[in-house]
Structure 1
Amino acid sequence: MIEVIDTVAWIQLREGRILGTRSYGKELFYIPGGKRHEGENDVQTLVREVEEELTVTLLAQSARHFGTYEAAADGHGLGATVRMACYTADFQGTVTASGEIEEVAWLSYADRDRTAPVDRLVFDDLKAAGQLS
């Protein structure tokens, strides 16, 4: 049986770069976000996860679905797939690494190979749309 890991992610762009996070003990960067808790919808999960990871408050009413992507799950063994629903949203506060996050970085398309497989699909779409330098 194929394991599907259901996640959401926050796409935050600035000057042709995308916000990426790296957890303690990991090599790859990830688009901020995470797994939903039972009963949560995408936006509730996104708001909770981003606040836990980056200490900012997403403005839920501004959330817009960007796309949903699927790829092999990094670090979960053969056959595991991650499904990532991506959203843009406005926020309040200052982005600061928190919780399991060791590093925050603004990534360009040149950093694509430093990210998880599912994130690379997002990078490709952002590059094709002229939003990622």
Structure 2
Amino acid sequence: MEQVHAAVSSSARSGPLLVVAAAVVQDGRLLVVSKKAAPEIFYLPGGKPDAGEGARETLIREFEEELGVQPLDPQFLADVEAVAALEGVPMRMTVFRARLGGTPFPAAELARMRWVSGHEEGLQLAPAVRDHVLPLLRQRGVLAG
């Protein structure tokens, strides 16, 4: 039934699914989270904007809801286009670099969080993270190659 719902909602929407997320790197490792709906797939923390909400507002709200922390000094990193891992529809993700204002913990719809290099055995990353964000962070020297 969820597959049908996703197909209906994507056909009603014009353009790609819009998402705002942040790449948080500490000690050479990237913070990734998984959702209860798909606990084996890891994403950047963030989410979809509410009506009339700007990218930074979305980021602040999502970080407070899902991780219990504020994103500090978010700086635009890139706009990434990929297929959304959970919804299976085209997605445009605005990615910021940010630091954390506190110790994060998974809340709301999150199942888990972890700090990764991207080279962990068996780690399933969402396509946007695996194919776009990790290479960009490595290119900029933020993550080890």
1:55 aligns with 2:72: no
Paired positions, count: 129
Q: Could you list the runs of 5+ residues in structure 1 that have no partner in the other structure?
A: none
1:101 aligns with 2:114: no
SS in structure 1 of the partner of residue 41 of structure 2: coil
Match of 2:28 in 1: 16
Task: Point out the more displaced range, 85-94 or 104-113.
Answer: 104-113
When Rg is computed on C-alpha atoms for both structures, the one with the higher figure is 2
For 1:74 and 1:90, locate their aligned partners in 2 and report how far apart those are by CA, in whole Å.
Answer: 25
For 1:114 and 1:53, locate their aligned partners in 2 and report how far apart those are by CA, in whole Å.
Answer: 20
**TM-score, reference length from structure 2:** 0.81
| CA offsets 1:47-92 (integer angstroms, 9 cap, x no match) | 0001111000224xx2210111001121324xx2111101123332
1:46 aligns with 2:59: yes
Post-superposition shift, 1:108? Answer: 0.7
Post-superposition shift, 1:119? Answer: 1.2
> What RMSD over aligned residues (CA atoms) do the two structures have, in Å?
1.8
Post-superposition shift, 1:10? Answer: 1.2
Match of 1:118 in 2: 128
Contact conserved, 1:34 with 1:46, CA < 8 A, in 2? Answer: yes
Task: Point out the more displaced range, 106-115 or 34-43.
Answer: 106-115
**TM-score, reference length from structure 1:** 0.88
SS in structure 1 of the partner of residue 96 of structure 2: strand
SS in structure 2 of the partner of residue 109 of structure 1: coil
Post-superposition shift, 1:132? Answer: 1.2
Structure with the larger strand share: 2
Contact conserved, 1:18 with 1:106, CA < 8 A, in 2? Answer: yes
| CA offsets 1:81-116 (integer angstroms, 9 cap, x no match) | 111101123332211111111111001121496111
Task: Give me the identity figure in percent.
Answer: 33
Match of 1:72 in 2: 83
Task: Point out the more displaced range, 8-17 or 33-42.
Answer: 8-17
